[in-house]
Amino acid sequence: MKFEKPLIKGKLIKRYKRFLADIELENGDVIIAHCTNSGTMKSCLETGAEVYLSPADNPNRKTKFTWEMIKINNKWVGVNTSNPNKIAYNALKNGTIEGLTGFNEVTREVKWGNSRFDLMARNKHETCFVEVKNVSMKDGEYAKFPDAVTSRGRKHLTTLIEVKQQGLRAVMLYVVQRTDVEKFTIAGEIDPDYANTLQKAIVSGVEVFVVQTEVLPESIEIIGQLPFVLHQL
């Protein structure tokens, strides 16, 4: 995924009210940027750290910038939670994720019953529903999800189980937006209900994929898959 417009550099002053961040630009101006991440952003907040922002397309939007990434320990970490959906869509269309290839139709935001999935991929052999989650939290060598209790995330897993019960393919895709981790696991200490629901989903036949991306000011690209360590649940 390449950024359509050049990003704007600054430094983080503070993040507050979940969806807002004060940023000091290189010219000394202080602006308010939109933060798409509703979680705690544990392990990816550091006052004074370098950040990059994208300019808003809508001139009527109250916040004129969106916070895209932050530099932690000299590595860029993606914090825009809308980007993983774009990355996953392109990856399924281009067949760049091993195990999720061969689809000739990929659609975003597809209704299924009373729910809506991030992606639906099809070929003449199967229909696959995919739910995508952003991962930015680091704990040692592990990337972890979630960084806050997520009832919405549990609902998505329950619906994936229902999809599988209907004989369709169901996939939970985690997109890790940092390169300083080697494995992925679930933060059961933060949300044990989510961890337990994912365990049930796996037993039901829901597939789990974890891709790692390299985040740069020019683009965010998949560089491989991370092992999913079940014993951490």
In this structure, the answer to whether residues 210 and 116 fall within a common structural domain is yes
Task: Name the stretches of the chain with pLDDT < 70.
Answer: 231-233
In this structure, the answer to whether residues 94 and 138 fall within a common structural domain is yes
Domain count, the chain: 2
Domain containing residue 136: CATH number: 3.40.1350.60
**What's the confidence (pLDDT) of residue 113?**
82
**What's the confidence (pLDDT) of residue 60?**
85
Assess contact for 96 and 222: CB atoms under 8 A.
Answer: yes
In this structure, the answer to whether residues 133 and 189 fall within a common structural domain is yes
The pTM score is: 0.95
**What's the confidence (pLDDT) of residue 233?**
42
**What's the confidence (pLDDT) of residue 232?**
46
In this structure, the answer to whether residues 27 and 65 fall within a common structural domain is yes
In this structure, the answer to whether residues 99 and 180 fall within a common structural domain is yes
Smallest CA-to-CA distance from 144 within 171, 176, 111 is with: 176
Q: Is residue 215 part of a domain?
A: yes
In this structure, the answer to whether residues 32 and 99 fall within a common structural domain is no
Asked if the peptide bond before residue 227 counts as cis, ω within 30 degrees of 0, the response is: no
- Of the residues 47, 76, 105, the one at which a domain ends: 76
